[in-house]
Amino acid sequence: MKIKKIHLKSDGYEFNPLRRRLLLFIGGGMLLWTADRAGLLGRSARAATGETNRKWEDQEGKVIKMTKSDQEWKKELGDKEYNVLREEGTERPFTSSLLDEHRDGVYVCAACGLPLFKSGSKYNSGTGWPSFYQAIEGHVETKTDYKLVLPRTEYHCARCGGHQGHVFEDGPDPTGLRYCNNGVALRFQEQKE
Ligand SMILES: [Zn+2]
């Protein structure tokens, strides 16, 4: 009698399909959770090594777009910022405090924070607007602007579409380009090493 009882118990444990499925389900969940934790740790490790672009770009290196309504932008931006960034206005020359900015760092979009220029590519063009000979790859997009008689190449932030300035082909080496930027559309972030 006793032996039979133990045998039944064992049967019940081994061949209860519901219990088996439940265990598999929990086991699978634990595996996924562990994998996710490992992924998160991987991301923070990359950020620590300075690959900050991971924050802004998808897996193919393309800037992830963001959109906001005009009303939302109006709330977030000052009048001058809104006029330049959302209405393609131009600030008065020699008015930007960034003209005298010579520290090491990055210049980010004043609307969304996307890094657009590194301090190493900034130079004094004498025009009265902050000028750069190179943008961070893929972080600005261009379009042709016919506001003046001669067509100009307008460029804007690749993330939020905020207007930054115009790019001309009379810049210094090594690119020969001059990114003529409205200071009000940029924020400077010092790089402390
Ligand atoms: Zn932006």
Q: What is the pTM of this model?
A: 0.72
Tell me if 68 sits within 8 A of 75, measured CB to CB: no
Check residue 34 and give its pLDDT: 43
Check residue 149 and give its pLDDT: 81
Catalytic residues: 180
**Measured in angstroms, how far is the CA atom of residue 161 from the centroid of ligand 1?**
6
Question: What average pLDDT values come out for the chain (193 residues) when binned by 10 residues?
Answer: 48 51 49 43 39 79 96 97 98 98 98 98 98 98 90 97 98 98 98 82
Tell me if 158 sits within 8 A of 114, measured CB to CB: yes
**Measured in angstroms, how far is the CA atom of residue 185 from the centroid of ligand 1?**
9
